């Protein structure tokens, strides 16, 4: 099992729980972009939009590079990788549990059929 830092994972899921931040991630998945261009698509102030980016940056999901007076934001895959690995492990656990349940149900169904044949 991968060793996760609880705070890092909590921050990532906190970001992913917000629809605006998910939309920003989707936008940045197309390539880096400036704050001003991205913010134009949202009905909020530039400082409000920048606050979203700062939260995403603190969670390790985005970074930026500065060119002159412009900040170009881009996705940082490490943060999403933590969440993906955690979810994959959880998924593996549940698949195993469901496989065991399916096996149990099939075995009991066969026993029930045998009981009814008598």
| Domain positions in the chain | 6-117
pLDDT tens over the chain, length 118 residues = 445 566 788 899 999 999 999 999 999 999 999 999 999 999 999 999 999 999 999 999 999 999 999 999 999 988 888 788 888 888 877 777 787 788 888 888 766 666 555 5
- Looking at residue 117, its pLDDT comes to 57
Which CATH number, 3.30.70.20, 3.40.605.10, 1.10.10.10, 3.30.1540.10, labels domain 6-117? 1.10.10.10
Nearest to 59 by CA among 1, 10, 112, 104: 10
pTM over 0.85: no
Going 26 to 63 to 17 to 36, the CA torsion angle's sign is negative
- Looking at residue 1, its pLDDT comes to 43
72-99 burial: b if 16+ Cβ within 10 Å, else e: ebebbeebbebbeebeeeeeeeeeeeee
């Amino acid at each position: 099992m991968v060793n996760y830092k609880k705070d890092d994972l909590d921050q990532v899921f906190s970001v992913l729980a917000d629809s605006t931040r998910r939309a920003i991630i989707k936008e940045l998945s197309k390539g880096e972009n400036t704050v001003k261009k991205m913010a134009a698509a949202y009905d909020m102030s530039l400082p409000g939009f920048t606050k979203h980016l700062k939260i995403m940056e603190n969670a390790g999901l985005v970074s930026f590079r500065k060119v002159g007076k412009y900040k170009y934001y881009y996705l940082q895959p490490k943060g999403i990788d933590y969440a993906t690995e955690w979810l994959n492990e959880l998924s593996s656990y549940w698949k195993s549990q469901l496989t065991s349940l399916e096996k149990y149900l099939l075995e009991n169904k066969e026993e029930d059929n045998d009981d009814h044949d008598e």
